[in-house]
Structure 1
């Protein structure tokens, strides 16, 4: 027994020791897996973090880029959360996500204190000048050749020195000399001479040695063109520009307008700035601004985020939540910015290619020189929701490629753009669009607010005409080069898109022409535009419409929309086939209520069960009486004492020969002149089989703060109405 005791005791001690060691090893393994195997599934980023940090709350990393690199080392397949602390992060380069980032990753900030990812540099060291301006030295200008074309002071976009300070000058005439024709529709290189009144150039009589290149910005119909001025003759009123030739369908000509910017003598108004060759930045403060404490940023990066996969390796499952982005730059190319509908070639602060299940939720994109988002090539099943886009130099969101995808390249499709606010856009490129769908299909654009834009609200499609040859459209060849499809019969890929419950208002601002709150192109079966509220669309000249089916728009259903207070009418079809326009309310068009352009042998559209209310202008414009249009059971009413004519006919003749079952009767709205289109009684509506719809469901939804954020201020609305009152001798009572 003693012998057994002697033998047993040491074994027991060794067993206990072994068990303790095993427990310690297991515990260490668990900790190791939590930190390394499971990858520390939450990485922390803070403004006071460091690249040498471990990514814990106590030792955070210093940037999102560092956190993404750290996440690549995680071997588990769990979701990685990157928690970004509040504050401003000045990006040295765009946040780049590629196929190497294989985890599901959530990059998230505090919803009440969103972190700001800025593509700018901070500007400080201001001193007062003898002129009463303020200036500071930006050493990067001379040291590195760095130049910037936008500036933001105290969260407000400053204006690069320009003349005139408001409005524009007019072109008297323009001549072009083609140097190289090339093979495209537009000359590859040409020089232009722009003639204007010599008095318009008086501020340029004494060039300043600090002046870099002077830039001319031209407004012509639906386009905006920027060109460097290569020479000017002040005495004769001539400006000389060069680069790509003018488009024959929309050249600069008499009546085109322009501004001149980027020279020191134009620095005259509060809020203007000028950057000289020597690196001095000059600024005239706005009333109440104290430059000693001002926060100023100059954008340095064009992109803030790029998500780029490849054909064989899509980037998947990346979520940005509660993040603010700001200060993305636009820089004019050496030859200027050529005219392009919808500012289609302007890049975006956030660009996505070859990706799936990408989400931006409760984010902000502000103070950009370009568009906010571009979900461009082969992007699928992705979402932008509950996000705020504000003060964009370009537009809001671009979807799809401008050229037809190359053979074998998947189409961008099945995107959801919902519950977003897009306001105050087109600040540099007035031809930019709130949401534009190029070549992309099966997308849903729901419950967004688009307001305070200089051009079209939502644009669908990127082909002009029907599926026939000789249509000038573009596509990408096998080498990815953009080609003109002069003799190809191409089919529009932009089909089956839904635009619903959006509120689009106060767009145009009298700057460009030929726009629509919702604009469509080409054959688009399955596309459904419904339950939108559209109002206050005002173009410079012609073409401020609510719903606008342009070149070749076909097989589109437009129903249950409320459209009012549009300069050129609530609906216009240029040309198209088999569209359906039914159960809409069109009211208070300034020039006319309804517009139509091209008579064709086929059925252009059906127009049934709609209510048309007027108090100004005419009922129709264009050959409605000659067009192949099915019209039935529409209700017309004028709030004026005199009954309007229906294409030179009295209503009785119109009803008999063109619009069977139509009524000329009060639709019995409660208070339409103040925006209340609910019914006092359905007596009239029932007679034309009009189905009432709840237009108050349009727009964003959610908290009271979110809904209030979508509203324009009284001062902004009055400024919009002031443009109309200034330019029109008479106008609708809606604007009084």
Structure 2
């Protein structure tokens, strides 16, 4: 066997030439091209600085590791390389003294929905929440206020509506004065149809029965006339002007103002790309013989229709260009045998007979053909019927991009402009409907992997994005997101797998073996509020372990898809769903959700929870060791939603959720789950599932957790060192006594949330390693005296009682401690309230 040494190629943002040495670094693309020629391990070492990208850095199968070796893109020691999709904006001048509006020039035609100032997200100019006086019309909304009709650039204005678990957005077509002197807001007709008149509703396996629609206005967005609030901006791309109202303390002459214009930063793509079935009515399909067509079927067929024949010898042919094809049909007791021909030669006989009716089954899978034109032909040879429901073409060879690592890289500053013109047609959890085809799509990600294998992201930072973060898409396998930080995204934090490959029978075309572990994922969905921290579609053997996920507008984790699709027709009937039912199969199963800390979720929308499962599993999956809590709005802490099955849910801790449900199994299509040995501080639950092995949780009062629960609390979350700024929902804090949680506060608390108690003697204890610590709380007239104990020694009391409210106040600070481990306890002595907002550790 050949012996290889590791090659190191050095790059820098201003690199040039071809030497790629430490003293003469080259560009990123030059290093990539040279790495293609190397054998053995290859390291591309990135110097610090900003790599400004107008198109994504692209890697394909030719950039994969060779002969079992890896290609590693990593930060040079002590360096912080940043892949950026933004341009810096300079030259701001004040143009409106009354509203403190500044303006800078940008190239005409610039498009962006996002802006970041000194690393902090600015908001597009928006109205107050839930503006009054609007009512829906046939074409949009009307109001008695005539001033809206005077707004400029009316087609750039958006109406935004939060409704249940969905957020919907539509651009306006116009704003006009009406006869009554008010304003008529006409919504873009295509978006109004998709979000209001005719919301996509194909049913299982693509969506559930609920159809929240855009029926009101949560706020209006993106008009110059809305400017005036510090931290908001407006981009008039046609005129070439960016407007911004600085926050207190921001100096635009010195600030780093980043305007993202790129949608994607890194593209790692194997072949083929996304595979999705075409309907049986596709123009390339040829039906020979006595075929019938049945449309509007309620039985779960693709497109709600099929072609069918009852005559032996009748055939279906499909001409395609590619390397394979899959034909979807129905399995049922009245189906029979089918001969399969490829390019005129018989290759197999399949049998569609089954005692149970199953829709959208891949009864024929042809793979491994030479790339080029081919024809597949199915001939009915037995049974009462042969049905054709859909066709999936595999256009290219299955050639993964593999064995590539990115380590220590920051990915920042992207934008996604499609909603500006097309609106945002939401389904659930950052999965949308394409405005034209009405098929499932996702918010694009800054870092995208398509058909990858053994792709690793470790110790990376993904931040300040107008898109999602990392997407392991198109049946990516055995890949990892590890010990990284994903924060401040407009969309999903990390996505794994697809939602439209439920029918897949080919192992090479399944999402499998991926892991998302030891990451911190926070502040996702900052623009598109239905987004979640981690989304997993259909998958096998996916592991989500020891992540810290928090401060989300909707659920923390959403895993699975399909609703009741994989549940039997009997169970669907018990749920009250129409018969005959939409019922099929999925390859999803063997997934593990272990040791995660998910907290401070449901900040904006409803009907979700810290960890939410959906649809059937084909084999047992495990849900264990998770710590779930601090829901901002009402939630379901462990939410096995419609169709969830074969989950072994045990040894989890649920805390600080108020009167919400620690467990919700709301309907009979949730079945064959085992739920035992969990610990909660509430006894509220809902169990309407079928064949559930259920044990009520051990309910713990006053946060006096037993040893087994304490072990779960100690083990959950990332294993890596944690921040020295400790929020009140951090697992390092042990609360004793009667405590409540309040999130989504607008007073300026750390991360907008606090724990509070009205019980004298209630305490909060933190054990830390460092040389000092500060206790952060709110001061106010209803606060009182606080007792302090450090390393078992009582310290003088402090007070949080002040005439006026103060937020993030350090009422106790100690410094100069011996380096090492210490324990601080703060407790309520008197006053109406005692609040814990956080701690600041000095190392």
TM-score by length of 2: 0.63
Which residues in structure 2 correspond to 1:200-349 (within 5 Å)? 204-208=148-152, 213-233=156-176, 235-236=181-182, 238-241=184-187, 242-243=189-190, 244=194, 245-246=198-199, 249-252=210-213, 256-276=216-236, 277-310=238-271, 311-333=397-419, 334-344=421-431, 345-349=442-446
RMSD in angstroms over aligned alpha carbons?
A: 3.3
Identify if the C-alpha distance between structure 1 residues 466 and 65 changes in structure 2 by more than 3 Å, giving closer, same or farther: same
After the TM superposition, which parts of structure 1 deviate over 4 Å for at least 4 consecutive aligned residues? 37-40, 170-173, 233-238, 405-409, 468-471, 690-693, 704-714, 721-727, 730-736
SS in 1 for 2:250: coil
Deviation per CA, 1:470-512: give whole Å up to 9, x if none. 89x9xxxxxxxxxxxx976421222111101100001112x21
Deviation per CA, 1:177-208: give whole Å up to 9, x if none. xxxxxxxxxxxxxxx4335x535xx6524223
Counterpart of 2:323 in structure 1 is: none
**1:198 pairs with one of 117, 120, 144:** 144
Separation of aligned partners in 2, 1:724 and 1:109: 35
1:468 Cα offset (Å): 5.6
1:426 Cα offset (Å): 0.8
Identify if the C-alpha distance between structure 1 residues 710 and 58 changes in structure 2 by more than 3 Å, giving closer, same or farther: farther
SS in 1 for 2:34: helix
Task: Pick the structure with more helix per residue.
Answer: 1
Counterpart of 1:634 in structure 2 is: none
Contact 1:111-1:322 within 8 A present in 2 as well: no
Deviation per CA, 1:617-662: give whole Å up to 9, x if none. xxxxxxxxxxxxxxxxxxxxxxxxxxxxxxxxxxxxxxxxxxxxxx
**2:694 pairs with one of 602, 607, 622:** 607
Deviation per CA, 1:364-394: give whole Å up to 9, x if none. 0001111101101121111110000010101
Q: Which runs of 5+ in 2 are unaligned?
A: 202-209, 272-396, 432-441, 573-579, 734-740, 763-832, 835-843
Counterpart of 1:135 in structure 2 is: 103
Deviates more, 1:461-470 or 1:571-580: 461-470
Q: Which runs of 5+ in 1 are unaligned?
A: 1-36, 177-191, 474-485, 614-668, 680-689
Is 1:87 matched with 2:49?
yes
Higher relative contact order (CA 8 A, sep 6+): 2
Separation of aligned partners in 2, 1:535 and 1:419: 18
TM-score by length of 1: 0.72
Counterpart of 1:545 in structure 2 is: 636
Is 1:70 matched with 2:34?
yes
Separation of aligned partners in 2, 1:425 and 1:704: 19
Separation of aligned partners in 2, 1:431 and 1:526: 28
Deviation per CA, 1:279-322: give whole Å up to 9, x if none. 11111110001111111111111111111112432111000010
Separation of aligned partners in 2, 1:230 and 1:470: 44
Contact 1:171-1:194 within 8 A present in 2 as well: no
SS in 1 for 2:611: strand
Identify if the C-alpha distance between structure 1 residues 691 and 59 changes in structure 2 by more than 3 Å, giving closer, same or farther: closer
Identify if the C-alpha distance between structure 1 residues 470 and 609 changes in structure 2 by more than 3 Å, giving closer, same or farther: closer
Contact 1:423-1:453 within 8 A present in 2 as well: yes
**2:714 pairs with one of 696, 700, 703:** 696
Counterpart of 1:367 in structure 2 is: 464
Identify if the C-alpha distance between structure 1 residues 40 and 595 changes in structure 2 by more than 3 Å, giving closer, same or farther: closer
Deviation per CA, 1:203-245: give whole Å up to 9, x if none. 524223x565111111111001110011335645643322223
Contact 2:133-2:144 within 8 A present in 1 as well: no
1:722 Cα offset (Å): 6.2
1:724 Cα offset (Å): 14
Contact 1:224-1:339 within 8 A present in 2 as well: yes
Identify if the C-alpha distance between structure 1 residues 732 and 213 changes in structure 2 by more than 3 Å, giving closer, same or farther: farther
Deviation per CA, 1:578-601: give whole Å up to 9, x if none. 21211111224xxx82234x5x7x
Separation of aligned partners in 2, 1:506 and 1:213: 33
Deviation per CA, 1:376-420: give whole Å up to 9, x if none. 112111111000001010121111012116664611111111100
Counterpart of 1:114 in structure 2 is: 80
Identify if the C-alpha distance between structure 1 residues 321 and 207 changes in structure 2 by more than 3 Å, giving closer, same or farther: same
Separation of aligned partners in 2, 1:712 and 1:424: 15
When the two structures are aligned, how many residues end up with a matched partner? 573
Deviation per CA, 1:21-69: give whole Å up to 9, x if none. xxxxxxxxxxxxxxxx97981110112311x24111111113x222111
